[in-house]
Structures are given as structure tokens and as C-alpha cells.
Amino acid sequence: MSSTPQWLGWVQQLQALAQSGLAYNPHPYDAERYEQVRQIAAEIAAHLSHTDLSLVLELFAGDTGHATPKVDVRGVIFRDDRILLVREHSDGKWTLPGGWADIGESAAEAVMREVGEESGYPVKATKLLAVYDRARHAHPPHPWYIYKFFFRCEITGSPQAHDSEVDAVDFFKLENLPELSTGRTTVAQITRFFDHARHPEWPTDFD
């Protein structure tokens, strides 16, 4: 079941229709209509999220081309019976290291880069544990539609300096998890990955 409010799902679909329509060089009259659809979607989002309309319009206008889900990658690294988490400077809460995949890199390359940047640990991606539709899990609402890729990774070297977006790095037992940044990672997901660690023969999870 989706965790996304119904109104946000409608906004995402309207925005996607407008964005994809504008991507295919429509007739000027059709382009105007697609712009109107985008404007309506932005007004709904701004009103129901109590956000400034100009910020929503800027967000929507910044994404071009055929509308597709965005890709978030996360690294799952164990040391004995503890899992590696990083604390985000932005909200002071903990998460599996990761972030957006970039153009020109595979999902595995993206997660290795992100883990290295956020935790300081060089790693190798060894198994795709899960591909989740973010909207179907207990994350707070997000304006974009997102797929989340979780990779099991193995540490390959000594830790280096991590980036400024993270202010702490540590390993935690399942029964002693800190407060999580649920926009990025949930307790249920981490629990599932501890289960995967105990059952390495399990196949990849997906929605």
C-alpha cells in the first residue's frame, strides 16, 4: 500500500503528464496547455503542502525530458553483527549511506561512490538486496517518484575523510538503532537487511 497522500499522487501524475508532453516538441497550443497542467499541479502542491508556489514551480520546471522515477542508491555494510550508518548534518538523524545516482554511472558505481563520500569507507558492491518503490514504504511524502536500490557492500580499505553533509559515522546493532532519517531509510528496511545477512541465499526483494 502506498504511503503517499492521494493528492500528492495526483500532483505527481499531472506533473509527469505535463513534463512528458513538453518533452516531445508539441504544437505551441498544446505546449500552452501542458504548461497550464503544470501550473495547476504546482498550485495544488503548494496549497496542500503550505509551500511557496514559486518554489514548487521552480522544482517542477527544473526537471525536463520524459518523466521517469528518480533513482536513490543505498549501501548496506555489516561489521560482525552491526550495520554502518551515517548521521546527516541536515536533520541530525541517521541513515544508510547513499544518495542520488548520477548520469554516466551504473547503480553499483553510484552506491560505491556515495558510500565512499558519506562514510569515508571504500567499498565494493557485491549484491543487490532490494529495489523498492519509495511510495510503497513508510517514508514521508516526497514530490518526486523514486525507486530505491539497496546494495550489500564490502569494505575494501581503511576509512578516509567523509564529506561535510555527514557529521558522524558508526556501526549499530539492530536492537540499538539510533533515530533514523525516515525520508532515507526505515527501521523495517534495516531489519530486513539484517535478515538478508543471516540468509545470503535469499534473492533480491522488489515491489
How confident is the model at residue 1, as a pLDDT?
55
Domain borders along the chain are: 6-61, 70-206
| Cell triple for 68 | 521517469
Residues 118-142, mean pLDDT to the nearest whole number: 95
How confident is the model at residue 199, as a pLDDT?
97
Residues 144-150, mean pLDDT to the nearest whole number: 94
Question: Checking DSSP bridges between strand 78-79 and strand 82-88, what pairing results, if any?
Answer: antiparallel
How confident is the model at residue 169, as a pLDDT?
95
Q: What are phi and psi of 86, to 5 degrees?
A: -125, 150
Kindly give the interhelix angle for 6-23 and 53-61, rounded to the nearest 10 degrees: 50
Tens of pLDDT, residue by residue over 156-206, are 999 888 878 899 999 999 999 999 999 999 999 999 999 999 999 999 999
Q: Using the structure block, give the residue that is written with the C-alpha cell 549511506.
A: 97
CATH of region 70-206, choose from 3.40.640.10, 3.90.79.10, 3.40.50.970, 3.40.50.11540:
3.90.79.10
Tens of pLDDT, residue by residue over 64-106, are 888 789 999 999 999 999 999 999 998 999 999 999 999 899 9
Question: Is the confidence at residue 2, as pLDDT, over 80?
Answer: no
Kindly give the interhelix angle for 28-49 and 53-61, rounded to the nearest 10 degrees: 130
Residues 5-30, mean pLDDT to the nearest whole number: 86
Percentage above 70 pLDDT, the chain: 98
Q: Please, what is the average pLDDT of the chain?
A: 92
How confident is the model at residue 12, as a pLDDT?
87
